[in-house]
Amino acid sequence: MNAITSRITVLPKGESIFSYQATEISIVDEAAGPFIEIKQFPPEGEEQSIKFNVEEWPFIENAVDKIIQEIEKLEDKS
């Protein structure tokens, strides 16, 4: 028997896990191998998600880091 962590919920302090501000990061496997799914639950509509495999993560992480750097540059100009 094994136990694994298959979902982590990220949310602001003081919010419930059912908050629209919660983000769920999960391991999902639909019989074709495991992948990562990130979900959010906006108050104005249906849940939103992005799915990707582990091999894609370094490229996604790098792209997000670049976007964060661009945002920081914009904020410095304000």
State how far the Cα of 26 lies from the Cα of 36, in Å rounded to an integer: 6
Does 77 or 7 have the greater pLDDT score?
Answer: 7
Please tell me the predicted confidence (pLDDT) of residue 77: 78
State the pLDDT at residue 67. 97
Torsion sign (Cα): 30, 32, 33, 35: negative
Q: Structural domains in the chain?
A: 7-77 (3.10.450)
What are the tens digits of pLDDT across the range 38-69?
999 998 889 999 999 999 999 999 999 999 99
Tokens (6 digits) for 17: 């896990």
Closest CA to 12 of 2, 4, 26, 23: 23
- pTM exceeding the 0.85 threshold for the entire prediction: no
> Percentage helix, strand, coil, to 5, in the chain?
30, 30, 40
